[in-house]
Structure 1
């Protein structure tokens, strides 16, 4: 048997580390020793605060995330590690290979080969830790389908919002605006290229986002495309009001059990606004005949190589100090961009 440790969410505001014994890897399985794992600033913040729906599956598409959000449970989906033991039927070339896995925060875990993503030699562990969120950002871009010359707005510059903004900055758009309340995030976004970044707590923006954007040069007709990635249900009304006639609003936020009160009697009704639900577990139906998850992941790896988001890591905590990491995430979000656990 192999000794390992795992982080368990045991109650709202509480995590514990438990020792576990793992059986040796089976046929076409390997043992992975984790070196780094990224803490999700959106989903794991909700999980830690007890705001995830208890009866909802952790993720029906990932074998390591079976079960639901009923305590106690393991969670996390961004592990970087090294293969240290091979099961029967596994080629020796896997020994010592660096890999990424959609796996909870654990010091060691058993994984099938098809659950692992081999990492290029020139991609650092820190950059690789952003792979899950970069795949999500690419999925948002696919679902929004920005066109040349469009005006686009991103609400929320957490990790996924920032990665989405980085992808949109590569498009020949007429306008690209982003809003966030935290100066640290706005400073990172300002380095991404031709982006105008505004303070989401500016009174003019809160009272009339449409006209506030127009005053900064944004198209007076409203946005062609808006991304709501703030994690705040209240921001969805801002997104709807910022969109122009027949504009698209891509909802990338997962609100958990937080409720949203929508105003659908004004701009939404008259302007025929389209609300698009976007979730990375599946591909947009209109591209599913040509795109696969493997193709999307390959694109995400290349995007990480080009962007180097590992530079955005603000905090590193030893795995044994996971409780402090989550306290940092929830209590001091203004200074916490990407938190990682080290092993």
Structure 2
């Protein structure tokens, strides 16, 4: 039997590499040798802290997760690698570079239907962004963003910067990213929009997308909207309660807050869009080399257990940190 190494979270802030046997390849399975995986910092920080609420254990389960929340658990969903072996029904997959929603692991066996070919124009190291760009696409859809809209994105983490990038490519839009971290300004500029501090943000916005993961950010976003404006909430707070200001003009201005969650395609598109089609779109969009501005750290997989808790710690400033295999 072949042996693989995988990253497991075993307790609050505790991570270790474990060996496990790979299953026998089935008729329609592929074996993938990983090249890169990336840390989805917001979600993995909650997993590392044991902060996934019990009521959401099934909802937040990753496609190829092993173990159960809170611990021990093998978690992650941003993996790119090459198919090295395949079952008889999918032999044509051998040699292809693929993306998979798989935890951090150096080799794995999955159904061929669960991987997507990475376009030739997209390097492996950039393709790890596909899962987060897919969430950004879904958020823009949920926000109903249109041509010429005045758009603010509150929160300049990876998700917020991806959302703002998509919004800025919509014809006629006026897009601002809003964050207290001025050091993200250069990254925002490389992606095609401006980052401003909350006090400098423009008001009377048509659409706000919130990704900061804080009640303060959510309150800021509501304050930027014009009458009848809509805020799409992309943050997930785990087991935390947040305080948000719904006083003053929230009701008189008839503001709307709409939840966005990547696990569900918006109703208006669901009859035509599967999650697989949406992920394929994200991979195609990554042909743009400007997305490399989000890739700001890399560690050999052998050191992943030592650095994951640092990357996911509160206040850490990593954007997209990758493990190299």
Deviates more, 1:322-331 or 1:156-165: 322-331
- Structure 2 unpaired stretches of 5+: none
Give the Å deviation of 1:58: 5.6
Aligned length: 325
Q: Aligned partners of 1:117 and 1:226: how far apart in 2?
A: 31
| 1:6 and 2:13 are equivalent in the alignment | no
Q: Tell me, in whole angstroms, the C-alpha distance in 2 between the residues paired with 1:170 and 1:290.
A: 23
Counterpart of 2:26? 26
Q: Is the 8 A contact 1:186 1:197 kept in 2?
A: yes
CA deviation after TM superposition for structure 1 residue 80, in Å? 0.5
Residue aligning to 1:208: none
Do the aligned residues in 2 keep the contact of 1:55 with 1:69 (CA within 8 Å)?
Answer: no
User: 2 CA distance for matches of 1:334 and 1:17?
Assistant: 22
Q: 1:279 aligns with which of 248, 253, 261?
A: 261
Q: Assess if the C-alpha contact under 8 Å between 1:99 and 1:116 holds in 2.
A: yes
DSSP-derived class of the 1:168 partner:
helix
Q: Distance in 2 between matches of 1:14 and 1:321?
A: 13
Q: Distance in 2 between matches of 1:99 and 1:184?
A: 33
1:113-150, Cα deviation, whole Å (9 max, x unpaired): 11001112221011101000111111111111212222
Question: Would you say 1:339 and 2:321 are equivalent positions?
Answer: yes
Cα pair distance change 1:63/1:154, threshold 3 Å: closer
User: Contact 1:233 / 1:258 at 8 angstroms: preserved in 2?
Assistant: no
Deviation for aligned residue 1:59: 4.8
Contiguous gaps of at least 5 residues in structure 1: 206-211
1:23-62 aligned within 5 A:
23-57=23-57, 59=59
C-alpha displacement at 1:295, in angstroms? Answer: 2.8
Determine the structure 1 residue equivalent to 2:100: 101
**Secondary structure, in 3 states, of the residue corresponding to 1:320?**
helix
- SS of the aligned residue for 2:90 comes to coil
The yes-or-no answer on 1:225 pairing with 2:192 is no
**Aligned partners of 2:66, 2:103: CA distance in 1, in Å?**
11
The reply on whether 1:255 has 2:254 as its aligned counterpart is no
1:79-125 C-alpha deviation (Å, 9 max, x unpaired): 0011112224222x211211110011111111001100111222101
Q: CA–CA distance in 1 between the matches of 2:190 and 2:323? A: 26
CA distance in 2, matches of 1:60, 1:256: 10
Deviation, structure 1 residue 233: 2.8
The answer on 1:301 being equivalent to 2:306 is no
Q: CA deviation at 1:61?
A: 7.7
Q: Give yes or no for contact 2:80–2:97 (8 Å, CA) kept in 1.
A: yes
Does the C-alpha gap of structure 1 residues 332 and 57 become closer, same or farther in structure 2, counting only changes over 3 Å? closer
Q: Deviations over 1:44-102 (max 9, x none)?
A: 122223322245236568541366422000100000011112224222x2112111100
Q: 1:324 deviation in Å?
A: 3.1
- Please provide the CA RMSD for this pair: 2.0
Q: Say whether the 8 Å CA contact 1:54–1:68 is kept in structure 2.
A: no
In the alignment, structure 1 residue 133 sits paired with structure 2 residue 132: yes
- Following the alignment from structure 2 to structure 1, what is the Cα–Cα distance between the partners of residues 29 and 71? 28
Q: State how far apart, in whole Å, the 1-side matches of 2:148 and 2:27 are.
A: 52
Asked whether the 8 Å contact 1:55–1:70 carries over to 2, the reply is no
Partner of 2:170: 171
1:199 aligns with 2:181: no
Q: 1:88 to 1:63 in 2, by over 3 A?
A: farther
Q: TM-score, normalised by structure 1?
A: 0.88
- CA separation in 2, counterparts of 1:305 and 1:320? 29
